[in-house]
């Protein structure tokens, strides 16, 4: 019978200890964000998926389809195509597709680009049940933004 009372005493002590910890934490400031209503600000070094950078004057991508990013990608998730338009000196990108399901966000593509055509986006809330939603046409996406 003495084991019975000692178990009750030990259990009561642990209950009071837990309640004291809860009471202490209750009066501390809140550190979580109310996510859907408060959107977090991404830091400067945040790496989202890559995106094309538009030329400030023309609004077209800076990319000249040199394929350096495609060759530098270890995941083989970038597909680039371009053609030379009449009256222009350089090629113009016609297709730039990113398969984000394969991308490891290593940054090799951004580092290999010599024409300031790629950067990491600040987009972080990419959610879908469909795998095809993560195959992104970056040329079309840039046109939609402008």
| pLDDT in single tens digits along all 146 residues of the chain | 678 888 999 999 999 999 999 999 998 988 888 888 888 888 889 999 999 999 999 888 999 999 999 999 999 999 999 998 888 888 899 999 999 999 999 999 999 999 999 999 988 888 899 999 999 999 999 998 87
Q: Is residue 26 domain-shared with residue 91, that is, in the same domain?
A: no
Report DSSP state, residue 41. Answer: P
pLDDT of residue 81: 94
Neighbours of 52 (CB within 10 A): 22
Q: Is residue 3 domain-shared with residue 58, that is, in the same domain?
A: no
Total structural domains in the chain? Answer: 2
Q: Is residue 98 domain-shared with residue 135, that is, in the same domain?
A: yes
Q: Is residue 75 domain-shared with residue 27, that is, in the same domain?
A: no
Residues 6 or more apart in contact with residue 75 via CB below 8 angstroms: 102, 103, 104, 106
């Amino acid at each position: 019978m003495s084991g019975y009372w000692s178990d009750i005493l030990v259990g009561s002590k642990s209950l009071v200890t837990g309640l004291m910890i809860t009471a202490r934490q209750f009066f501390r400031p809140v550190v979580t964000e109310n996510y859907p209503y408060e959107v977090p600000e991404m830091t400067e070094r945040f790496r989202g998926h890559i995106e094309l950078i538009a030329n400030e004057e023309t609004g077209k991508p800076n990319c000249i389809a040199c394929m350096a990013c495609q060759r530098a990608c270890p995941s083989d998730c970038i597909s680039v195509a371009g053609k030379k338009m009449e009256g222009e000196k350089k090629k113009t990108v016609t297709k730039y597709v990113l398969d984000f399901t394969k991308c490891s966000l290593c940054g090799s593509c951004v580092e290999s680009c010599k024409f300031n055509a790629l950067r990491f986006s600040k987009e972080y809330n990419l959610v879908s049940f469909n795998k095809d939603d993560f195959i992104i046409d970056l040329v079309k996406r840039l046109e939609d933004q402008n």
